[in-house]
A and B are shown apart, each in its own frame.
Chain A
């Protein structure tokens, strides 16, 4: 009956779907490249840069809404700018990424 037929079809499709990637001829795109050390480092640096930039934005909002006084604001802004600059500097120092 219908249910048995549908089940049979799905089972067939499942077997094909599962086996086909394994039995078809191998191709170049079959390797999942792992992160190299350099890529990991650069990703971390980009994250650091973006975090510092986002924090700067948030800081501006916090200052405009009077959550932070001028003194603390100036100090924290300088700190985040330094972090962002440092991260960008380290990024540029690395070999430029392949695009």
Chain B
């Protein structure tokens, strides 16, 4: 390869070291932002089965997974919807109170995911966080997400 721009005999010019420093600082600040945010912001929450949620996570905002076994009421109503969620594996159950959007696929027997807090024997859900899981293999169907059977 012809070398039309020879480097200076005493190594890279100071300007280049300066540029490299700036680039390194930029990378460091991106990583730093990432590290600080993930460490300090309340950005994640545990994903629990019904059995775990009622033991040791009281008062904490968690994401609950389970199967709907009984449901009454209307989530759009001010009084909300009450349903019983059973653990996907064990037989533990938990009562859930929910207001907000209900995905089309919601019904008794459907596996769902919901965010909220377990307090005083009832799981109070964050509005609009009810998400259904399609029971057949590999596919999640949900509202408000857009996961679908094909894309």
Query: Chain A residues in contact with chain B, CB under 8 A?
Result: 41, 44-45, 48, 83, 86-87, 90
Contacts and interface: CB of A to CB of B under 8 A. Distances in A.
Interface SS majority for chain A: helix
Contacts of A83: 4-5
B45 interface: no
Contacts of B1: 41, 44
A48 B2 CA distance: 9
B19 to A, nearest CB: 18
Could you tell me the dominant secondary structure of chain B's interface residues? loop
Contacts of B5: 83
Contacts of B2: 41, 44-45, 48, 86-87, 90
Nearest to A82: B4
A90 B5 CA distance: 14
A44 B5 CA distance: 14
A92 to B, nearest CB: 13
Contacts of A90: 2
14 contacts: A41-B1, A41-B2, A44-B1, A44-B2, A45-B2, A48-B2, A48-B4, A83-B4, A83-B5, A86-B2, A86-B4, A87-B2, A87-B4, A90-B2
A44 B2 CA distance: 8
A41 B2 CA distance: 7
Contacts of A44: 1-2
Contacts of A86: 2, 4
Interface string B82-113: 00000000000000000000000000000000
A48 B1 CA distance: 10
Contacts of A45: 2
Nearest to A40: B1
Interface string B1-33: 110110000000000000000000000000000
A90 B1 CA distance: 11
Contacts of B4: 48, 83, 86-87
A95 to B, nearest CB: 16
A86 B4 CA distance: 7
A49 to B, nearest CB: 10
B91 to A, nearest CB: 52
